[in-house]
Copies of this chain bind each other. A is one copy, B any other.
Amino acid sequence: MTTTAATPVAGNRAMNFIYRFDQGDASMSGLLGGKGSNLCEMARLGLPVPPGFVISTDVCDQYHSGGGSLPDGLDADIKANVHLLEKSVGRTFGSADSPLLVSVRSGAQVSMPGMMDTILNLGINDEIVEGLAAMMGDPRPAYDAYRRFLQIYADVVLEIPGETFEEILASHKEKAGVEQDFRLNPEQIRGVISDYKVAIRSASGDDIPADPWRQLTLAVEAVFRSWNNPRAIFYRSHNGISHDIGTAVTIQTMIFGNLGPNSGTGVLFTRNPSDGEQKPYGEFLANAQGEDVVAGVRTPQPISSLAGMMPQAYQDLMGLADKLEGHYADIQDMEFTIENGRLYLLQTRSAKRTALAAVKAAVDMANEGLISRDEAILRVDAEEMVQLMVPQFKLDPGSNEMKSALLATGFGASPGAATGKVYFEADRAAEAAAQGIPVILVRPETKPDDIHGIIVSAGVVTRRGGVTSHAAVVTRGLGIPCIVGCEGVQVDPDQGFFSVNGLIVREGEDISVDGATGEVYIGGLETVDPDMDGMTEAKEILEWADQARSLGVMANADTPADALQAVAMGAEGIGLCRTEHMFLDSQRLPEVRRMLVNAEAAEQWRRNQPDGVEEPAPGADLPAGVEDFYGALENVKQLQTEDFTGMLRVMGSRPVIIRLLDAPLHEFLPPYDTVQAELAEMRRLGAPPEEITDKEAFLLLVESLREENPMLGHRGCRLGLSFPSIYRMQVEAIITAGAGLINEGIEVNPEIMIPLTVHVEEMRRLREDLTAAASRVQERLGVKVAYKFGTMIETPRAALTAGAIAHESEFFSLGTNDLTQMAFGFSRDDAQAKFLGSYVEQGILPGDPFATIDADGVGALVKMAVDAGRKTRPDLEVGICGEHGGDPASIAFCHDAGLDYVSCSPFRLAVARLAAAQVAINHAKT
């Protein structure tokens, strides 16, 4: 057996239990945890970290697989390593004379802040505390350290609820007539300690062991146990962290900042974490421990004050900050303690900072030459870019005010903070909004029929549905904050209230919502708009990103206003214009309905005409429904021509992909239940018979359009083939709009997109018919309008037969929302609440496939479609227009799959531009 400096004390056992800080490095986070490997790295870099060692995650694994017992030999290894610490700092563990205390901390590969347990001041007992008091020259902090140790140890190791101790402490403070912990004198703290011991004995039947070695062993076990405490499991499930990685345990010398005026403690950010300003930012408290800062014992001073108090330590600290930021090339969040003038670095990590700060710091660092532009791009979390684009609450989310206002949490479906008065019906919401009242619409779920209420709302909350439900998709398109799947909220629209755990919130009361976090708050919380002053660096980094990326970035937009915003956010075109969203405008809906309810009658009539007759001659005598249909069709055509003129005018020469009617007809009609109720009411009130007859006929129509599985129903190009006049009308409107703009000297590039194709024959027939319709319009107007003809690939069969479909398609747009629904057999309206949430939580699926594309399944279909499509037509234009188009991980997939572009909501364009650049840069690297 050979032992060298780099070999763990335990020698060449099959597995090393323990690594000293100088034996590990940053690459070993899997084995040593993030915290442990970081400390090792710091030690290797010669940074002044308090000496310590790490018990590896393998031991955690053995602990759990061994049914909750530590492996043989670990205790001996711990002892040997503690003796090394004693040597290093010249104090002794378990001795009352210059005692060595240690901290015992958890730390997994992935940071889980606040989720697991840490024990400080371990190695103390009734005797040792007196030695510590002597060393500190003040019994108060020593007793206080002992008191805290007892409390934390009891909580973590013995699982005695913390409230017991809070109550004891509170009663002693009351008796002493003080309000703050640190106002208790040493004698009073001893009283607290005495009561703590009684409480511990009564709750656990035993004392906390006085033997520091025993304390240490039990603490290590407790940390391993804490890996599986409920909040840790929840946190991991919620954040997509594997339950298998386990935690390491870091055991480190306690350094004291409260040994006199030449000691102290503080926090330093190498740059301002709020706005990214390049100036050290932090605070310091002399003669204090870290917990004093947290407890608000005294008000800390700005970090600059340290310069006067301890110039050498300050100089050391600034040097350290430069060194660390240079090394990690990122803003560092450093915790430090000065013990008798000697600087110790307790922790350093990439600072949690706002998106704004992240962007500014990255851009500054690149401009400072600290990192390259590519590195700057990689430094920013693309997902966070969305924060720059939407309002936020003024209060810090962690603040007590926010915590106490929190009502419920759902899934953040469309980001941004909003506040307003709650309404439960789209009609009522629209009325309120018309009076200038800011509205938050709260519904069990939303349907297309609610659109007039959604459009006017400042925010939307639904009890049911996932992040790709109707409410989610519509609000993202509109940029309205939205929370879905907020199961805690019991909504009763009929009675006009919702309740959360018994709390009733009635129509007209104030609530606030955060569409990023999914949180619903009671009351009207103040919001702040994105700070455009701070956007210089955001624009700069996005320009760099545009140079770095190869993937095009387009936007999903349905109105000229959306399109304008999209251009401002850098969209290179419109990847998806949903014409049915234009239909849903409340002023247009009646005319659209008149068209749709008569479509079948008109189609019957048309089929009975001689060959070649596709529409009635002007002035022809038509049956009533047929006349209604063609009248409405003409009116809708005018409206659509205006719509398309507006869109195409904004986008000019940029491509605008317009999807023809996709939604099933019943989406434009009121729900069956509603019509049925209306009919019952009319009968009850004795309405005129002819009105009742009309309503009965309407009910029959609505009934005839019901489907068992509307998702797999009569929609998309199936409608286009059933009712050819409607698609023809839309194409005529597109070409008419284009021709008008060309006459104004404006270049246009419309692309006509057919939804829900399953077979090339659908495309062939529609292409033939619609090309003819387009030609007729061009001929009539005497203007040539260049356009492309293509399809969405959104059914598995379309992806599987893309080679054939490409013969009739100049472009493909991957509709991965529907592709995901069909590939998995998951209804996005139901799956989240029924089982998908649980699947993700339990780790059966690695994530929500509606949020990030499922590379193995749906992704395989995408790749097949791209490859087969390009084989048929090498210049085939291929993009993605589903929700995945704005998700960084999915964007990376799209880059790999060779797509030409991604298309997403205007609000996510910054995310997409950055993410597209990141994947390009990462690929160039490898």
Task: Give A residues with C-beta under 8 Å from B.
Answer: 707-714, 718, 721-722, 756, 758-759, 761-762, 765, 794-797, 800-801, 804, 818, 821-827, 829-831, 834-835, 838-839, 842-845, 854, 856-858, 860-861
By beta carbon, the residue of chain B nearest A836 is B718
Q: Are A709 and B797 in contact (CB under 8 A)?
A: no
**Bound complex: CA A711 to CA B827 (Å):** 8
Residues of B within 8 A of A797 (CB): 823-825, 854, 857-858
Least distance between A74 CB and chain B CB atoms (Å) = 23
A761 and B709 in contact, given A797-B858, A800-B857 (Cβ under 8 angstroms): no
21 A–B pairs (Cβ distance < 8 Å), ordered by A: A707-B827, A707-B830, A708-B829, A709-B709, A709-B830, A711-B711, A712-B821, A712-B831, A713-B834, A721-B835, A721-B838, A758-B826, A758-B857, A761-B845, A796-B822, A797-B823, A797-B825, A797-B858, A800-B823, A800-B856, A800-B861
Contact for A825 among B818, B830, B835, B843, CB less than 8 A: B818
Q: Are B827 and A712 in contact (CB under 8 A)?
A: yes
Residues of B within 8 A of A800 (CB): 823, 856-857, 860-861
By beta carbon, the residue of chain B nearest A721 is B844
Q: Are B765 and A844 in contact (CB under 8 A)?
A: yes
Least distance between A461 CB and chain B CB atoms (Å) = 19
Q: Are A830 and B708 in contact (CB under 8 A)?
A: yes
- Name, among A712, A722, A858, the residue most crowded by chain B CB atoms within 10 Å (CB to CB): A712
Sample of 19 further A-B pairs with CB below 8 A, known A721-B839, A795-B824, A797-B858: A708-B710, A709-B712, A711-B825, A711-B827, A712-B825, A712-B827, A714-B831, A714-B835, A759-B845, A761-B845, A762-B844, A795-B823, A795-B825, A796-B823, A800-B861, A801-B856, A804-B856, A818-B825, A822-B822
Residues of B within 8 A of A845 (CB): 759, 761
Count identical subunits in the complex.
Answer: 2
**Bound complex: CA A616 to CA B635 (Å):** 67
Contact for A759 among B713, B822, B844, CB less than 8 A: B844
A708 and B708 in contact, given A845-B761, A857-B801, A860-B800 (Cβ under 8 angstroms): no
Residues of B within 8 A of A711 (CB): 708-709, 711-712, 825, 827
The 7 closest A-B pairs by CB, nearest first: A797-B857, A712-B827, A709-B827, A708-B829, A714-B834, A796-B796, A709-B711
**Bound complex: CA A722 to CA B837 (Å):** 11
**Bound complex: CA A839 to CA B857 (Å):** 29
**Bound complex: CA A804 to CA B857 (Å):** 11
**Bound complex: CA A856 to CA B831 (Å):** 29
By beta carbon, the residue of chain B nearest A818 is B825
Least distance between A614 CB and chain B CB atoms (Å) = 16
- Name, among A761, A857, A861, the residue most crowded by chain B CB atoms within 10 Å (CB to CB): A857
Residues of B within 8 A of A762 (CB): 844
Residues of B within 8 A of A834 (CB): 707, 713-714, 718
Contact for A835 among B718, B831, B835, CB less than 8 A: B718
**Bound complex: CA A829 to CA B827 (Å):** 16
Least distance between A721 CB and chain B CB atoms (Å) = 7
Q: Are A835 and B796 in contact (CB under 8 A)?
A: no
A829 and B759 in contact, given A796-B796, A796-B823, A835-B714 (Cβ under 8 angstroms): no
Q: Are B714 and A712 in contact (CB under 8 A)?
A: no
**Bound complex: CA A861 to CA B835 (Å):** 25
Least distance between A8 CB and chain B CB atoms (Å) = 32
**Bound complex: CA A860 to CA B713 (Å):** 23
Least distance between A473 CB and chain B CB atoms (Å) = 14
A722 and B838 in contact, given A800-B857, A861-B800 (Cβ under 8 angstroms): yes
Least distance between A810 CB and chain B CB atoms (Å) = 21
**Bound complex: CA A173 to CA B804 (Å):** 63
**Bound complex: CA A842 to CA B831 (Å):** 36
**Bound complex: CA A43 to CA B57 (Å):** 90
Least distance between A791 CB and chain B CB atoms (Å) = 13
**Bound complex: CA A486 to CA B559 (Å):** 44
**Bound complex: CA A794 to CA B829 (Å):** 21
Least distance between A124 CB and chain B CB atoms (Å) = 34
Q: Are A835 and B795 in contact (CB under 8 A)?
A: no
Q: Are B823 and A708 in contact (CB under 8 A)?
A: no
Q: Are B758 and A825 in contact (CB under 8 A)?
A: yes
**Bound complex: CA A843 to CA B795 (Å):** 20
**Bound complex: CA A710 to CA B712 (Å):** 11
By beta carbon, the residue of chain B nearest A859 is B800
By beta carbon, the residue of chain B nearest A803 is B856
Residues of B within 8 A of A856 (CB): 800-801, 804
**Bound complex: CA A457 to CA B818 (Å):** 40
**Bound complex: CA A722 to CA B860 (Å):** 28
Residues of B within 8 A of A708 (CB): 710-711, 827, 829-830
**Bound complex: CA A818 to CA B713 (Å):** 14
Residues of B within 8 A of A794 (CB): 825
Least distance between A581 CB and chain B CB atoms (Å) = 20
**Bound complex: CA A759 to CA B840 (Å):** 12
Q: Are B761 and A796 in contact (CB under 8 A)?
A: no
Q: Are B709 and A857 in contact (CB under 8 A)?
A: no
Q: Are A861 and B796 in contact (CB under 8 A)?
A: yes
A761 and B822 in contact, given A708-B829, A801-B857 (Cβ under 8 angstroms): no
**Bound complex: CA A183 to CA B734 (Å):** 71
Least distance between A147 CB and chain B CB atoms (Å) = 33
Residues of B within 8 A of A713 (CB): 827, 830-831, 834
**Bound complex: CA A838 to CA B714 (Å):** 12
By beta carbon, the residue of chain B nearest A465 is B708
**Bound complex: CA A842 to CA B721 (Å):** 10
A857 and B796 in contact, given A712-B827, A713-B834, A759-B845 (Cβ under 8 angstroms): yes
**Bound complex: CA A858 to CA B795 (Å):** 11
Residues of B within 8 A of A826 (CB): 712, 758
Least distance between A707 CB and chain B CB atoms (Å) = 5
